[in-house]
Structure 1
Amino acid sequence: MIKSRWFYHPLFIFIFSLLALALSLFLYIRSYLQVNEALQDVVIKYNLNAKQILQSETWVLILTLSLLVSVILAGLFIIYIYYQKMIQLYRLQQNFINGFTHELKTPIASLQLFLETFSRHELERQEQLRYLEYMKRDTKRLSDNVNRILQLGRLEDKNIKADFKDEDLISVIGQFIKNTPHLFDEGRVEFESEVESYFMQIDFGLFEMLLMNLVTNGFIYNKSREKVVRIKVTMIEKSLVIDISDNGIGLEKSELKKVFKKFYQVGRSTKGSGLGLYIVQSIVKLHKGEITAHSDGVGKGTIFRIVFKETK
């Protein structure tokens, strides 16, 4: 939903533009029926130069009408821009619906197939464990998608109260990698820190989701034979910098800023929900940081840089 103040609302702008048009026509007619007659009376009464006075009136009229026409054109232009954004948002929402439907239907269909297999066939224990592992992955995928939607609602709530605690950010990243090995089945994660410790106010749950989204994206959008995600922490000019890079499909320059928009999907793909990076950016902002995306082009990987400026 596009949030705007009431005086930016297209309905108000449209009505205001119509009133400005009506007022300009009214003033035009009134100026020739009343103002011109009044000026002629003044000219006769004070024996003034009629040509000079009437010429001044003409310039005032032209200036007034020009300003009113400018208001009308500006109003119409704002309405045009607003509806262009509405159309773009509608398209993004359609892509999101298509992608998210796919993300939900695929694991559900897979679970149904495995359950039918269990009900129809006698399976050896080793084979049962293999199918159960597949089912666990599908339920985890469903759970992640539901959590994204729930987290999105929480982040967009203006009255959100994050559970901030003074945590060692380096330790938080290390714990995340240690406690979530199931996220790295498709590749490996390398962690390097030039900083021994860095304490700041962190909502542990939200920050863990931030890391999860960035790391899993590095594997999902990756066609390399050996998928690698690198997390590097450095200090640059008294700011803590976290670089999360991958050897994945990369991004075109035109997409570096778009990827953080809600519902946006690279190349209009149905892969993913289009919410991950939007949630990441929201979490970073909540922690008073900044995030940017960098890439040398398609096929050359992506680097997501998070910067926390020192506030101590």
Structure 2
Amino acid sequence: MNNKRIASKIFLYSILFFYIPTLIIGVVLTILFKYEENLNNKKIINNSLTYFEKAINQKKYEGFDKINSMLYHSGFLKKLQNKDWGGIKKYFEESSKKLEINGFVLYTIINGKTEILCKTIDDDNNRFVGVQKALDEIYFFDSLIYFNYVFPVSSAGNSIYYIYAKIVINKNCLESPSLMGINFKVIDTESGKTVFNTKKIFNPKDKENSFYFISKFRILQGADKYKIEVEAPKKMYSVRFDRIKFIAAVVVLLWIISTGAFFILMNNKLVVPLGLIIDSVGKISKGNYDDKLEILNDNEIGDLANKINEVSSFLKINEEQINSINQNLEIKIFERTKSLKEALEKLREYNNQKTDLFYTIVHDIKNPLTVINGYATMILQYPNFSEDKKKDFVKKIVRETERLTKMLNDFLVSIREEENLYKTQYSPIDILPILEYFYTIYEVQAKESTIDFVWDVQTPLPLVNGNKEKIEHVLSNLLSNAFKFTEDKGMIKISARVEENVIKVGVADTGSGIEEGKEKAIFDKFKKLEDNKSGTGLGLYIASQIIANHNGSIWAKNNVGGKGCTFYFTLPYIKDEN
């Protein structure tokens, strides 16, 4: 923000001495013009309302004069004396058309009761009961104005007759050059509805461009139940003020343009060069010496720019020399650091391999020893077993001993040749005999624990490319865990199926299952299925590494709708080309 300080001050001074006074003058002029404009418009609207009411009264009294001249015609009076009601009705009908009267009612009052003699309109009889003078009632409806009037007419004898007439004025009769463009809207004060409007089409947008004035009728009698709203377009009465405002706006605009030109001139001659100098100094402070100032001003600012360019060139030469020395040192430090990192990484890798090997040996020895101990214990506890049964147990003990011996030999070979620790020999094998062997191995243990040991294996199964001992290790681990966590009278099932391009093997149990959210974590190193159970937590980790080396997958999930869980692993089978 530093390179903007001078520009900000110039702009601030422009606002203080030019723009703010201009804005104040413009606001004051606008308020004065608006005030005078509103006074003038209100005066015009008041005059228009007075003219509108006078025009209605004039039309009303013209109607009264026409009716008086009609009723005092000799022909009408003669028919009245002769009580020619049919002739009078016909006379009323002809007069209504000529005089633009809505209709007539001829009635008399005898003993306080109204007797209608003839009429040409349907109207409420109670409207003129007992009335002997003008009602002076006025009604607005749509584009029409109605006046009710009662005329007393004397005849020969003691009878007095009354004539009720309804005078109608159409809004078109009120049009005048003095009222052009002005709209009069009559509103019923009780219902709030508009009952009369001189404008044929009402546009809601006109509200934004019109003056409004609402008042009671001042001159018109019989219109107490109504109020009138006068609407006059602004454009009709604002021409003079618009011209004044236009001149004021032009003056303000010229003032703003002149101050803007002053600001631009000061900005180009002073602010922009200083901004370039500040940016250049900032770049130099960050080590960028290539950009040179190109300020051609023949003044102090130009001299300052040249001095900055000389300093930049001098600093660039010194920095290049220092960078050359630093670069040589960095190369030597990098080479030494790289050698140390490689040695440290090899040491860590060697230590991890030794640790993994130790835990692998301990865990793999444990499983066959468990089987051997089981069968040996059974022989000692049950001496009544048949010789064939005992021989079968001894054979299995021998086979587990041989497997343990071979495993130890493999470990010894791995210790001698560390670089081949994780290399395994693969060949086509049939896993069905492996599954059958482990089924027979654990069948006796299942009977001892009253566990339902289920065989659900598809036969035959295709060959897989793998290592027999490693696959046996996986099955031994999964079955050992299943029997460890399954209580008496539970169920364990071995299954195998061909699915797509793999053989899917499963070991299901009705044990305690796996804690939700830990289905993947149990395959991590040193993770146990349950903390209170014995074991090193390496079995599932070793099994997952073996299956991964066979290009397969291993996972576990809890049984749906029941107890326990199922461990699955897949092995790609060898496709038969024939």
Relative to structure 1, the CA distance from residue 213 to residue 75 in structure 2 (aligned partners, 3 Å threshold; closer, same or farther) is same
Partner residue in 1 for 2:553: 292
Counterparts of 2:424 and 2:397 in 1: how far apart (Å)? 30
CA contact (8 A) 1:233 1:241 kept: yes
Relative to structure 1, the CA distance from residue 229 to residue 85 in structure 2 (aligned partners, 3 Å threshold; closer, same or farther) is farther
- Opposite residue 319 of structure 2, the aligned amino acid is Q
Structure with more strand by fraction: 2
Q: Please list, as runs of the form range in 1=range in 2, the aligned pairs for 1:239-258 lying within 5 A after superposition.
A: 239-247=501-509, 253-256=520-523, 258=525
* 1:261-309 superposed Cα distances (whole Å, 9 cap, x missing partner): xxx7858998599689758855874xxx412332358x96453422428
Q: Of 477, 482, 485, which aligns to 1:217? A: 477
How much has 1:233 moved relative to structure 2? 2.5
Partner residue in 1 for 2:456: 191
Relative to structure 1, the CA distance from residue 309 to residue 176 in structure 2 (aligned partners, 3 Å threshold; closer, same or farther) is closer
Relative to structure 1, the CA distance from residue 77 to residue 145 in structure 2 (aligned partners, 3 Å threshold; closer, same or farther) is same
Partner residue in 1 for 2:440: 182
Q: CA RMSD in A?
A: 5.1
Counterparts of 1:302 and 1:227 in 2: how far apart (Å)? 12
Counterparts of 2:542 and 2:421 in 1: how far apart (Å)? 14
Q: Of 228, 242, 247, which aligns to 2:492? A: 228
Counterparts of 2:367 and 2:457 in 1: how far apart (Å)? 33
How much has 1:224 moved relative to structure 2? 0.7
How much has 1:142 moved relative to structure 2? 1.5
CA contact (8 A) 2:432 2:461 kept: no
Counterparts of 2:476 and 2:347 in 1: how far apart (Å)? 35
Counterparts of 2:408 and 2:504 in 1: how far apart (Å)? 26
Any unmatched runs of 5+ in structure 2? 1-312, 415-419, 447-452
Seq. identity, % = 7
CA contact (8 A) 1:257 1:293 kept: no
Q: Which has the higher contact order (CA 8 A, sep 6+)?
A: 1
Q: Please list, as runs of the form range in 1=range in 2, the aligned pairs for 1:1-312 lying within 5 A after superposition.
A: 52-99=316-363, 126=385, 135-149=394-408, 164=428, 172-178=430-436, 181-185=439-443, 186-187=445-446, 188-193=453-458, 202=465, 206-207=467-468, 209-222=469-482, 223-225=485-487, 226-236=490-500, 239-247=501-509, 253-256=520-523, 258=525, 285=549, 289-296=550-557, 301=565, 303-308=567-572
Counterparts of 1:65 and 1:300 in 2: how far apart (Å)? 64
CA contact (8 A) 1:99 1:270 kept: no
Partner residue in 2 for 1:46: none
- Opposite residue 308 of structure 1, the aligned amino acid is P
- Opposite residue 142 of structure 1, the aligned amino acid is T
Relative to structure 1, the CA distance from residue 257 to residue 244 in structure 2 (aligned partners, 3 Å threshold; closer, same or farther) is farther
How much has 1:161 moved relative to structure 2? 7.1
Relative to structure 1, the CA distance from residue 233 to residue 110 in structure 2 (aligned partners, 3 Å threshold; closer, same or farther) is closer
Counterparts of 2:423 and 2:520 in 1: how far apart (Å)? 35
Counterparts of 2:555 and 2:344 in 1: how far apart (Å)? 32
Partner residue in 2 for 1:8: none
| 1:295 partner SS | strand
- Opposite residue 191 of structure 1, the aligned amino acid is D
Aligned residues: 236
* 1:228-251 superposed Cα distances (whole Å, 9 cap, x missing partner): 243332434xx3242433336767
CA contact (8 A) 1:244 1:303 kept: yes
How much has 1:77 moved relative to structure 2? 3.7
| 1:294 partner SS | strand
* 1:143-179 superposed Cα distances (whole Å, 9 cap, x missing partner): 222233456769x5999875548xxxxxx44454446
Counterparts of 1:201 and 1:104 in 2: how far apart (Å)? 24
- Opposite residue 66 of structure 1, the aligned amino acid is E
Counterparts of 1:215 and 1:143 in 2: how far apart (Å)? 17
- Opposite residue 60 of structure 1, the aligned amino acid is S
How much has 1:112 moved relative to structure 2? 9.3
Partner residue in 1 for 2:124: none
Any unmatched runs of 5+ in structure 1? 1-48, 118-122, 166-171, 259-263
Task: Kindly name which structure, 1 or 2, has the bigger radius of gyration based on alpha carbons.
Answer: 2
Partner residue in 1 for 2:45: none
Counterparts of 2:557 and 2:319 in 1: how far apart (Å)? 63
Partner residue in 2 for 1:22: none
Counterparts of 2:504 and 2:498 in 1: how far apart (Å)? 7
How much has 1:56 moved relative to structure 2? 0.8
How much has 1:219 moved relative to structure 2? 1.9
How much has 1:126 moved relative to structure 2? 3.9
TM-score by length of 2: 0.31
Counterparts of 1:109 and 1:292 in 2: how far apart (Å)? 32
